[in-house]
Structure 1
Amino acid sequence: MKMLNTYSKIVILFTLFFGQFIYGQEPVSIHLTEENGLPDVEFYSMLEDQSGYMWLSGNKGLFRYDGEEFKSFSHSKKRGRSFFNLKTDAKGRVWCNNIAGQFFYVENNQLSLFIDLGNRLNGSLADYVIFKNYLVINGNKEILFINLDTKKIDAKPGIVGTSIGFVNEKNQLININEDYELSVYESPKKLKTLKNTDIKSFEAKETLGFTKYFKDHKDVYFFLFNKYKRDGKIYRFQSNVLTPLQIPKALKELHLDYVYIENAIWYVASSKGLFKLKRNGDSLEILSHYFQSTYITSIIRDFNKNLWVSTLNKGVYVIPNEDLIRYSNSNAISVIEKKSEFEAFIGDRKGHLKQLNLKKQQLKTVNHISDNSSIRALSYNKKTNKLLYVSDLKTVSINENNLENYTLKRLPSLKSLDKVNDTCYVVSLPHNAALISQNKTQELIGQRTYKSLVSRDKKQILVSSVKGLFLFDFPSLKSQTIRFKEKPVYAYDLTQTNDGVFWVATYNIGVLGIKNNKVVAHLNKEKGLASNVTNKIKADGNNLWISTESGLQLYDRTYHTYKTISKLNGINSYNINQLEVLGDEVVFSSNLGLFSFNKNSIFKPKNVPEVYFTQVVVNGIEQDLEPNYTLKQNASEITFNFHSKGFQASKFIEHYYQLKKFDTTWVKATNGQVKFNTLPEGDFTFNIKAKNRFGKTYSKTKSIQIKVVLPFYKQLWFYLLISMLTISVVVVYFKRKLRRKESLKQKELKQLELDKQLVNLKLENLRSQMNPHFIFNALNSIQEYIVLNQQNLASTYLVKFSRLIRMYLEQSQEQEVTLEQELQALKLYLELEKVRFEQELNYNLDVDTTLNQQLIKLPSLFIQPYIENALKHGLHHKLDNRNLNITFCQHKNQLICAITDNGIGREAANKLKQQHINFHKSFATQANKKRVDLINKDRKEKIKVEIIDLYTENNKPNGTQVLIKIPL
């Protein structure tokens, strides 16, 4: 019997202190599946592009994630629906391929087919790489270099393994050739082999199956898998030297589908989960093993430090923070009691007591204590190494050797318990708060209470009740009500920092600090608290851990700053019910389980993703995205839609907008949209920027210019125009009447003046034709004939002279004369002038016979002055061989009169004119010029007079020609 009792005690002690260990602790992850919007659960490759988009290729196609939604990409010529091998090129294009041998890239938001090699690849999923300006493909026993511009294919000898190789920092393509040595391509035409790189462990070509290449910031690693021995090896390639690595046995038999390396930490995707390793020299050591029953296909860390893990059949896991560890999925944890700087007791509502060891990352269950009732409180005494265990059914004290009953009474529905000394506790119960010990109970307050806290110096007790917050001096128990702004304080949780300040987590006004019986500090949302609704609070030295409905925060009282852990950092739920600080570790429980994190490494800065516009809608019509918009004021409804890339950006990114020149303040936007129903006239700038919800750094501001113009009928110029038009109409009406009268008067005066000028000009022409010199010469000639008794000649000459004078006088009465009349006058004039030149004048008057001389009209007294000018200034000074040709002809719709003389020319005539002061003045030609100008005023077709100087072949003056063009 004694042996049995001894054996029972051993079993009990073994169970108590070793318990049942729970392994498999993993960082908190967010599981994306079809239930929460993931378009597939089977993925093969992931990639983050230069713009921050996350790309996933899988069984159902190619998808792009912008932080809010997944966009699918497809092509009409695609064979099959799956895509593989996501990669980017220098232009930022995303590439992928499929089993059918098709290679695609995404550019300008569209999937394009680059080349189809289905017949050449024979249904194999070929690995590829973008190398310089080539798409390089591991083909069927050959390497294909395909020019990205011309698509010309250059085939080279094949390589060993399934991977095409890698491009090093010198922009060289390196792979394993058929001789198991490393080939280096500078270009398709330039190849060399690295000597002494033979991979000795694989002697037979047919034994080598799966191959992969992995890169960190300076080294490249080869993974080679022997398909017969099921044995994998990893080589490090550095300075053209291959060095084998020692790898854990657990990895040797696995395909390493993908390896992501940052610094010396390796994340390895395999068919048996995700391995986290650390490289020490030439050996790899397993640090953690996550998702052990899941086939992992790809791993990537995005721009915001989130670790993405794609799987073959379970969707995608996102790990926001690896330092946040989950130990249990239980939602029933009711109490966490600190034992040491790395150990704690965990109690739940089902009566299970567990012990957490952070160093070993172990959680063990103390099975034999459970009574299947809710554990209400745990209190560990470091001096006695005893744990006070309080459930609804029993209160016991546990030590390292045995269980013993405790003389405290049963405390069902206990709210809180805090130790005053080794034998006395203050408790909060549904009906009161009291001091209890082994022998007595002393009531502090007779009402429902929630939390009681004993000060560090044991001189005060703070109690939160349904009627407010009360402070008791100990041991006198003199009480005082704590009020804030003349109102009661309703507290959810209490704690005290090392400097003696009590801190109270309230239901809706934030956190209050109490010292010397009064409120000395108030932390609220306006000062940086995530929310005024708080639940748990825990002192950490003089700093505070505060759990709110919007995140868990660390408040640094020295610098008055807040650091926030939110769902963006991996906390799945803000419903935190227990919180404890163990040295550098913080342990907390929520409705989703038990968690811990290192307070020195949990806060990782998050990059602020840029904001970009997704849509602009004006008056209900979607517009092309432009930097500027012009709106009419009566139709100025405009809506801006915007977004920021990044995982769960819609939940954790806040956007602030400003309409510059309308309002200078920045306003928080909601739902990624800002709408203005109407805007006043003016020039505005719509600015938008983003920041993490609890961060202080903003992204770069993006802007759109808006110009709002009034309708024309509301603009000042329109009112002025209407006023001016009204006045103008009135003024114009009366002015028009006056102007009409004035115009008629001016027109009559102008006509009179014109007629007067024409009359004067005709008189001048007449004077020219009847000038004294001409008359004197004519009369002298008649006198000479009479003296010489040549009566017939005198009579003939006199008749011609009188007829010419009469013609001139008659034509001076008319505006126009017929060509026939003009020719008659010209003939008489030339006959008389020939007599004056003593028969030393040869003239020729040539008239085109087709001209209708009786119908063609020309201004009266018009041609003769030009003939006179030719005679007096051109031929008069020539001694002999005086020739004058006058022609009339019609060209198109013009009567052309050409007057040609072979006189001394205008230049010589001008010189003679300057030498003789009393030289004859040819005012008729000038009058004719003025007359031409007057006549042309009212003509559409103008009369033109052109004077041409004639020269011999030796460039000597040879007369003058006058061309007169009169429109018919």
Structure 2
Amino acid sequence: MALAISGNRLWFTSRDKHLYSGSLSQGKLSKIRRVDIGEPYDWVRHICIDSDGYLWLPSTKYMRYDPAGFPHPPDTILSSNFLCSGPDETIIVASTKLGIYKHGELQKFILPDTSRRIYSVYQEEDQDIWIGTLYGLFVYKNDRSYFKGNLSPILRERISSITKLKEMMVIGTSSHGLVFLYNDSVTDHLTEENGLIGNTIKSLYAQNDTILWVGTKDGLNRIVFTPGYDDYNIESYGQSDGLPSNEINSIRMHDGFIWLATGTGLVSFDPANLKPHLVPPLIQINSIQINGRDTCILDYYSLAHDQNDIRINFTGISYRLGENLRYRYMLSNYNDEIIQTKNQWANFPNLPPGDYTFFVNVGNIHGIWNDSPKNIQFRINKHFTQTIWFMILLIILSSGTLVLIWAFFQRQKKIKENARYELVKMEQKLFRLQMNPHFVFNALLAIQGFMYMNKPREAGRYLTAFAKLIRHTLYGSSEEFITLDKEIEALQYYLELQRLRFSEKFDFIIHVDDELIPESTEIPPLMIQPFLENAIEHGLQHKKKQGKLKLDISIKDDCLMVEVEDNGIGREKAMKLQKKKGKLHKSMGLEIISKRMESMNKITLRKIQLE
């Protein structure tokens, strides 16, 4: 509904798209009649009366009518969904553009720098025009539009109503309450949290410099400011106070009475007789649901860890029928913020373990709250895995696991130590094998023969080689790794002595790959000699012609390759000769080397293979 007052007559529209008129006297309306203006295009949401007594109606064919309903269109008809009175007896018509009329003639046409639909307009005495659109607030001055949404994000939303309270601009929004502007700055912002009955502003009316009436979708507010505007008092009224509807679309004043156009009819009252209802409503807990199931209402609950989805339903009880009650609640230790709502329930899903207290209170539209809020205590117990006993058990199990791991590593360490011990034993066996009495005896006899043959130079050379071989063998048997050049030197002494023993029946060559650096290449000591001995004893010893023995050391695919090659009689023929002599020689050196490799592979990351 919309309404306008001219003299002692009141004009109003209804949602059946009709226009009505009646006589006013001391807050009462009489002699109501319908005025036929034809079929409007839409609901007539605004009515203005110019200084000539003509009615201005948006969403109609002719826009301007006389009191009897006959059309008196202006010289230019603009599309319109909003209109209001301006200063100096003007009428402002708006849709997405503005037209300012006086005495039925278009005085000024304005095309603001916005194509948005216009919902409210207010023109100041200095001719600045405030424009509320779907997407925020603009002001038109000096033939330019200026966007005011940069003053506050709220001013970028739909602006539904604009008025002025002395020097302050009052901006009503469609969902964020009231914004007050002074000297291009936001001075205050009022919402339901500050005492407004609703945040959807439908209409504004400044009774004087200190009293502002605010019509909302949820009721009526009267805001009384102190003279310095440093404080205010908000009163709220709704259907429980006698209003036919909480939707207040238009507010006017006549002869000391306030007239309201509501969603379901007109109402008038003397503001001097308004008295807020001071009796607070009562609060009652209706039901408590845990995991979606109703339960008995108790003062204290001890719940399992998975009983943590809680819904509480409550109701306010008022002695006034239909009072618009408000609720505020808080759950301590969960979210200490006080929630204000009109809903009659509170939901808390997935509560973590802990102790909680739920508080709820109720108040009426006048801001009168009950002095005794209800409270309920909850304890959500921890899961077994979150208890101190589980932590102790976990520590015990973890400690046991660490002990087992420690024992495992100690066992591995012991295995490695045993392997080292076995390796040392193998090396000692190998040393004894290499230096067996038979080899030593034959080497000394050969040296003695040179001495008897009066060949002291040869005897001295071989005796020196024998001594160096003994020294190298003793040194190598005490080390895990020696450099390749030292091992080759020992092998040369060994092969020279073997040639002396067998009357130089074979020649030998030791070849080292150029890519190898013997001085920096390490190998286990005493590993190659048994293979050379095997080649001499089983291959070259029985050869009638001059024998050849070749030792080749190279690197391939990051592996050290050691190859022993001879032109002896071969393994099969050597086996036959041994059988014929009646004894089968078992190569103890190779057996010890194989066991030594196996032992070393247990204690080192480098692997040794025999092919």
TM-score, with structure 2 as normaliser: 0.51
Q: Work out which of the residue numbers 355, 358, 362 in structure 1 matches 2:22.
A: 355
**1:862-941 counterparts in 2 under 5 A?**
none
CA contact (8 A) 2:278 2:368 kept: no
CA contact (8 A) 2:221 2:235 kept: yes
Structure 2: how far apart are the matches of 1:489 and 1:613? Answer: 38
**Who is 2:547 aligned against?**
none
Structure 2: how far apart are the matches of 1:553 and 1:491? Answer: 18
**Who is 2:149 aligned against?**
484
Structure 1: how far apart are the matches of 2:135 and 2:326? Answer: 38
CA contact (8 A) 2:177 2:191 kept: yes
**Who is 1:577 aligned against?**
249
**Matched residues, number:** 378
CA contact (8 A) 1:434 1:445 kept: no
SS in 1 for 2:55: strand
Please give the per-residue CA displacement for 1:632-663, whole angstroms capped at 9, x wherever unaligned.
44555555443333379998334433344555
**Who is 2:64 aligned against?**
395
CA contact (8 A) 2:27 2:269 kept: no
Q: Residue 663 and residue 370 in structure 1: after superposition, are their counterparts in 2 closer, same or farther (change >3 A)?
A: closer
Q: Work out which of the residue numbers 303, 308, 312 in structure 2 matches 1:631.
A: 303
**Who is 2:93 aligned against?**
427
Structure 2: how far apart are the matches of 1:613 and 1:584? Answer: 44
The Cα of 1:537 is off from its aligned counterpart by: 1.4
Structure 2: how far apart are the matches of 1:627 and 1:613? Answer: 11
CA contact (8 A) 2:37 2:69 kept: no
**Who is 2:177 aligned against?**
510
**Who is 2:201 aligned against?**
534
**Who is 1:562 aligned against?**
234
Q: Residue 633 and residue 666 in structure 1: after superposition, are their counterparts in 2 closer, same or farther (change >3 A)?
A: same
Q: Residue 351 and residue 479 in structure 1: after superposition, are their counterparts in 2 closer, same or farther (change >3 A)?
A: same
**Who is 1:756 aligned against?**
none
CA contact (8 A) 1:535 1:547 kept: yes
The Cα of 1:418 is off from its aligned counterpart by: 1.7
CA contact (8 A) 2:129 2:139 kept: yes
**Who is 1:379 aligned against?**
49
Q: Residue 646 and residue 347 in structure 1: after superposition, are their counterparts in 2 closer, same or farther (change >3 A)?
A: closer
Structure 2: how far apart are the matches of 1:641 and 1:440? Answer: 59
SS in 2 for 1:595: strand
**Who is 1:607 aligned against?**
279
Q: Residue 642 and residue 421 in structure 1: after superposition, are their counterparts in 2 closer, same or farther (change >3 A)?
A: closer
Answering whether residue 5 of structure 2 is matched by residue 370 of structure 1, we say no
**1:23-102 counterparts in 2 under 5 A?**
none
- The one-letter code of the counterpart of 2:28 is Q
The Cα of 1:706 is off from its aligned counterpart by: 3.5
The Cα of 1:708 is off from its aligned counterpart by: 4.6
Structure 2: how far apart are the matches of 1:484 and 1:573? Answer: 33
CA contact (8 A) 1:371 1:393 kept: no
**Who is 2:550 aligned against?**
none
CA contact (8 A) 1:436 1:442 kept: no
- The one-letter code of the counterpart of 1:672 is W
- The one-letter code of the counterpart of 1:428 is A
CA contact (8 A) 2:78 2:99 kept: no
**Who is 1:548 aligned against?**
216
Structure 1: how far apart are the matches of 2:280 and 2:367? Answer: 9
Structure 2: how far apart are the matches of 1:407 and 1:640? Answer: 60
SS in 2 for 1:652: coil
SS in 1 for 2:26: coil
Q: Residue 516 and residue 642 in structure 1: after superposition, are their counterparts in 2 closer, same or farther (change >3 A)?
A: closer
SS in 1 for 2:148: strand
Please give the per-residue CA displacement for 1:512-551, whole angstroms capped at 9, x wherever unaligned.
3345566554444554444443221111112322222333
Q: Work out which of the residue numbers 668, 680, 683 in structure 1 matches 2:353.
A: 680
Structure 2: how far apart are the matches of 1:706 and 1:466? Answer: 46
- The one-letter code of the counterpart of 2:353 is P
Q: Residue 493 and residue 505 in structure 1: after superposition, are their counterparts in 2 closer, same or farther (change >3 A)?
A: same
Answering whether residue 363 of structure 2 is matched by residue 666 of structure 1, we say no
SS in 2 for 1:704: strand
Structure 2: how far apart are the matches of 1:639 and 1:674? Answer: 4
Answering whether residue 109 of structure 2 is matched by residue 443 of structure 1, we say yes
Please give the per-residue CA displacement for 1:256-292, whole angstroms capped at 9, x wherever unaligned.
xxxxxxxxxxxxxxxxxxxxxxxxxxxxxxxxxxxxx
- The one-letter code of the counterpart of 1:541 is N
- The one-letter code of the counterpart of 2:88 is N
Structure 1: how far apart are the matches of 2:176 and 2:290? Answer: 42
Please give the per-residue CA displacement for 1:675-695, whole angstroms capped at 9, x wherever unaligned.
4544515x5433332223662
The Cα of 1:714 is off from its aligned counterpart by: 5.7
**Who is 1:339 aligned against?**
7
Structure 1: how far apart are the matches of 2:27 and 2:199? Answer: 37
The Cα of 1:505 is off from its aligned counterpart by: 2.1
Structure 2: how far apart are the matches of 1:630 and 1:467? Answer: 51
SS in 2 for 1:337: strand
Bigger strand fraction: 1
Q: Residue 337 and residue 463 in structure 1: after superposition, are their counterparts in 2 closer, same or farther (change >3 A)?
A: farther
The Cα of 1:581 is off from its aligned counterpart by: 2.5
The Cα of 1:700 is off from its aligned counterpart by: 0.7
Structure 2: how far apart are the matches of 1:524 and 1:388? Answer: 38
Q: Work out which of the residue numbers 580, 593, 608 in structure 1 matches 2:265.
A: 593
SS in 2 for 1:600: helix
CA contact (8 A) 1:484 1:519 kept: no
Q: Work out which of the residue numbers 117, 123, 146 in structure 2 matches 1:454.
A: 123
Structure 2, unmatched stretches of 5+, are: 400-611
Structure 1, unmatched stretches of 5+, are: 1-332, 728-968
Structure 2: how far apart are the matches of 1:403 and 1:618? Answer: 64
**1:775-854 counterparts in 2 under 5 A?**
none
Structure 2: how far apart are the matches of 1:564 and 1:659? Answer: 28
The Cα of 1:395 is off from its aligned counterpart by: 3.2
Structure 1: how far apart are the matches of 2:336 and 2:138? Answer: 47
The Cα of 1:357 is off from its aligned counterpart by: 1.8
CA contact (8 A) 2:83 2:91 kept: no
Q: Residue 404 and residue 421 in structure 1: after superposition, are their counterparts in 2 closer, same or farther (change >3 A)?
A: farther
Q: Residue 677 and residue 365 in structure 1: after superposition, are their counterparts in 2 closer, same or farther (change >3 A)?
A: same
Answering whether residue 168 of structure 2 is matched by residue 496 of structure 1, we say no
TM-score, with structure 1 as normaliser: 0.34
The Cα of 1:396 is off from its aligned counterpart by: 4.8
**Who is 1:642 aligned against?**
314
Percent identical:
16
Please give the per-residue CA displacement for 1:392-423, whole angstroms capped at 9, x wherever unaligned.
3363556xxx999968437475421424435x
Structure 2: how far apart are the matches of 1:595 and 1:695? Answer: 23
Q: Residue 568 and residue 482 in structure 1: after superposition, are their counterparts in 2 closer, same or farther (change >3 A)?
A: farther
The Cα of 1:588 is off from its aligned counterpart by: 1.7
CA contact (8 A) 1:538 1:545 kept: yes
The Cα of 1:483 is off from its aligned counterpart by: 0.7
**Who is 2:510 aligned against?**
none
Bigger helix fraction: 2
The Cα RMSD (Å) is 4.4
